Amino acid sequence: MDENLDKFKEEQKNDNIEITDQVIEAISGGQVKIRPKWQVLVKSGLVILICVLLAIVLFYLESFIIFSLRHTGIILLPTFGPRGWLAFLLYLPWLLILLSLILILVLEVLLRRYSLAYHRPLLYSLLVILVGAGFIGYLLAPCHQTIYRVASENRLPLAGHFYRDLDNRDFSGVRHGVMVSVSGTNFVIQSWDGATSSVIVGDTDDFRSGVHSQQGDELFFFGDEGPDQFHARGMRIMMRQIVSQ
Asked whether the whole model's pTM tops 0.85, one would answer no
Q: Are residues 128 and 186 in the same domain?
A: no
Distance in angstroms (rounded) separating the CA atoms of residues 215 and 211: 12
Q: Of 103, 123, 154, which marks where a domain is finished?
A: 154
The confidence score (pLDDT) of residue 90 equals 93
Choose one of 154, 188, 213: the last residue of a domain. 154
230 close to 221: Cβ distance less than 8 angstroms: yes
pLDDT at 78: 92
Chunked into runs of 10 residues, the chain (245 residues) has average pLDDT values of: 51 53 54 62 79 89 92 90 92 92 86 60 71 85 88 79 80 86 82 80 58 77 81 82 45
CA–CA separation, 113 and 91 (whole Å): 37
CA atoms of 60 and 55, how far apart (whole Å): 9
What is the 3-state secondary structure of 95-138?
HHHHHHHHHHHHHHHHHCCCHHHHCCCHHHHHHHHHHHHHHHHH
Is there a domain that residue 189 lies in?
Answer: yes
Q: Are the CB atoms for 177 and 191 separated by under 8 Å? A: yes
Do 145 and 198 lie in one domain? The reply is no
What is the model's pLDDT at position 196?
Answer: 82
6 in any annotated domain: no
pLDDT for position 48: 81
**Same domain flag for 201 and 94:** no
Give the pLDDT score at 118.
52
Number of domains in the chain: 2
Q: Which of 93, 128, 154 is the last residue of a domain?
A: 154
For strands 186-190 and 196-201, give the pairing: antiparallel
Half-sphere exposure of 174 (CA within 13 A, CB side): 25
Does residue 244 belong to any structural domain of this protein?
A: no
**Per-residue pLDDT, 88:** 93
| Domain containing residue 234 | 172-239
pLDDT at 21: 56
Residue 78 lies in a domain: yes
Residues 135, 197, single domain; the answer is: no
Res 162: pLDDT: 79
Consecutive H or E run containing 10: helix 2-28
